[in-house]
Amino acid sequence: MIRKFSILLLFIFLILSFQHAALAQRQKVHNLAAYDLAPYHFGFILGMNQMLFSMDIVDGFQNNNYIPLQTPDIYSDSSTLYGIEHRPTFGFTIGIVSNLRISEHLDLRFVPSLSFGERNIDYSIMTKFEGEKDLILITKKIQSTFVELPLHIKYKGSRLNNVRPYWLVGAKYAIDLASDSKKKEESNNVYIALNKSDVYAEMGAGFDFYTTFFKFGIELKMSYGLTDILRREGNIYTGGFDDLRSKLFLLSFTFE
């Protein structure tokens, strides 16, 4: 998490550096000179996301033994959880941009979106069967399709010719259409059940580029879930978590 957050801070620092250097640049002809004076405008986004988890593990989770009823997909007399790790994967996001001008430097943005992705949780489990011990690795894949409803305040820096940096903060409400919260155990396969909805705090930064016919933007944004989304069902796959929250990094391209 620290590394990802550092990348976002570096991106914001580069924008600040750009803003400072812009003061010394000579002026050129502006494309779409009156574009930012319009009270509202629309567009769409295409992006690549990385879905992650923020995990807090229960202290002493390795000391808990699980009976077969708590591990229906593991053939053993008893099992002990030895380790938990998560592996993010890349997905994609599409959405519609609705932008309302508040002032010269402030906009209000509503960007309803669809985000598709997958997260994997790896469990290291020590099994015991008829006195024999064996360390196994089990991976649970969690697929998500989010309907996202974000609302942002966008602060725009000064325009340099046909480039303008910006920063944004806000929040979003998200519904996971692929949530496993209602799935039951089928064919001895245990699903990791997550809550269907969540609320996120968001921050990001980007550049707007004014072309002859439209405005093109590049944006990096981080979303952090504010609630614990794990449904605890008393099995080995949920017993080790004290808190499980969603995170999302999004690199997006806007066309307005």
pTM: 0.82
**Domain-located, residue 189:** yes
**Domain-located, residue 26:** no
Which ranges of 88-220 would DSSP assign to H, the alpha helix? none
CATH number at residue 250: 2.40.160
Burial class (CB in 10 A: 0-12, 13-18, 19+), 212: exposed
Number of domains observed in the structure of the chain: 1
Burial class (CB in 10 A: 0-12, 13-18, 19+), 13: exposed
**Domain-located, residue 30:** no
Tens-digit pLDDT profile for the chain (256 aa)? Answer: 445 545 555 555 555 555 545 444 556 777 878 888 899 999 999 999 999 999 999 988 888 888 888 888 888 888 889 889 988 889 999 999 999 999 999 999 999 999 999 999 999 999 988 878 888 899 999 989 999 999 999 999 999 889 999 999 999 999 999 875 445 444 457 788 889 999 999 999 999 999 999 999 999 999 999 999 998 888 899 888 999 999 999 999 999 9
**Domain-located, residue 32:** no
CA distance 217 to 21: 20
Domain residue limits at 114: 2-21+43-212+221-255
Hey, what are 119's tokens? 């997260």
**Domain-located, residue 36:** no
| Bridge partners, residue 93, by sequence | 47, 115
